[in-house]
Structure 1
């Protein structure tokens, strides 16, 4: 079942295209990673989904409903965490959480109590005394205390320490186990790689690559570390080998995923003392995609 459907979403500010023909589908029980650098169009897309920005053109459907025309109905089954959380400074964290949950028809107060303990938030403090991370905790506790069908998380771990990031990831996995959907916008690639079923890369307002991690990893390279007392002759001429670095008897290089067997055959001619290979990461894919486009523009 398709929870979120976006077709040809375009948003112009004057002559500037913040979004240019964005397409996206998010299914029930799926975590979709929406990645790109700051200014790529992630937050603009999310604001359009939430009805906070009116698109110049395009279709946005959430639960089969028009996201703009039926925004009130759509929002009844959505939980949202913004990237930059601003709270009323004279209210306590607990008061703000209760206020937002009072507004939502699917609030779960038992879950709220558990989340406050897990995120170790002092809800008696006024928000003016909160750090960035604690303000983010208020938003996360509120969102995950709602029994929603769609969770939209825009840079949700800003300011969190590593322990709290682990708690956040556990919450996202729990949502998925309940067959709920998550749109996770982030520039923290390791976070997306751990959590997401599918990934979309947005660049200058356009989704330039989308698919599962396995589908997208064929576009990037394995990382090899080889130690040999023999000199690896003509390594740079082996098909699929890139970015060779040598330090004494240790060689570090990248190999196109479809050329790994050729490189293994080549290394078989040498007395290899150590061989390590690491699978391609989302970060490598992301950098390579952007580097390729930068070269084309130049």
Structure 2
């Protein structure tokens, strides 16, 4: 469980990167953390991991305050940063050193993840790996730690299309009822068929925090002709007319969610989005 209560964060005296953020994230879910460049996604992930401290407000992860960096907190959370700088050591040395910090680390699972990503278990020096290989290696290690909280910042950067598909498979299979996964990305389509809830930041504040089931009940994703419906939240040209997002007046009749259109609709119509999702914790 992750709880943010009225959290504000700024660097020095600059304008707030995040302002009065209140969010509750529950285990058993894979959350997609979305937002424009500079919206504060990476800062939020680092706040959750205890690498940054809130200027105001409080954060609790499994009942603990991240900024204290207590051993019980550190061994139950794995944070994968966007930029991975692996040391100039061998595969075996890295695993032997780092696994000791995670009591539930599973060697068999780790090697299975490596095979899924088509990485040999006899990798040599880690600093000689390509960006994509480094990402596959650290994703595999992070999943094998079996921490209850897994935070991933732009994990699909550097992965080719087949590897992105494999990423979705291994992460979805690794979700358990007592595990909470948060994935931050600006490559929205990489999260299709993976996440079951979305957290969207805009203009330094929380704009949307909802399960996808609720999104599909309240919004429709359709192709419209030349004449746009009056209740349209967002529209973009397509070969068949306009790809639109509109209010769903019949909750029993939903449509497949398009995450990219959802993101664009939220950014272009923030007030209507807040009206449609009033029950979310802000």
Write the mapping of 1:232-243 to structure 2, written as runs, cut at 5 A: 236=227, 239-240=230-231
The residue that corresponds to 2:64 in the other structure is 65
* Contact 1:50–1:71 under 8 Å retained in 2: no
* Partner Cα distance (1:125, 1:246) in 2: 48
The residue that corresponds to 1:288 in the other structure is 265
Q: Alpha carbon RMSD of aligned pairs, Å?
A: 2.9
* Contact 2:201–2:207 under 8 Å retained in 1: yes
TM-score of the superposed pair, with normalisation by structure 1: 0.78
Q: Residues 81 and 245 of structure 1: is their aligned pair in 2 closer, same or farther, counting only changes over 3 Å?
A: closer
* Partner Cα distance (1:238, 1:114) in 2: 50
The residue that corresponds to 1:182 in the other structure is 181
The residue that corresponds to 1:97 in the other structure is 95
Higher fraction of strand: 1
Task: Give the paired residue count.
Answer: 265
The residue that corresponds to 1:126 in the other structure is 125
Name which of structure 1's ranges 183-192 and 20-29 shifts more when overlaid on structure 2. 183-192
* Contact 1:220–1:288 under 8 Å retained in 2: no
> Which structure has the larger Rg?
1
Q: Residues 104 and 15 of structure 1: is their aligned pair in 2 closer, same or farther, counting only changes over 3 Å?
A: same
- In the alignment, structure 2 segments of 5+ residues that lack a partner are 272-282
TM-score of the superposed pair, with normalisation by structure 2: 0.82
The residue that corresponds to 1:254 in the other structure is 244
Deviations 1:133-169 (A, max 9, x none): 0111121111011121111111111111222222222
Q: Residues 245 and 52 of structure 1: is their aligned pair in 2 closer, same or farther, counting only changes over 3 Å?
A: closer
After TM superposition, the runs of 4+ consecutive aligned structure 1 residues lying more than 6 A away are 244-247
Is 2:1 the partner of 1:10?
A: no
* Contact 2:244–2:261 under 8 Å retained in 1: no
The residue that corresponds to 1:173 in the other structure is 172
- In the alignment, structure 1 segments of 5+ residues that lack a partner are 227-234, 261-276
* Partner Cα distance (1:41, 1:216) in 2: 23
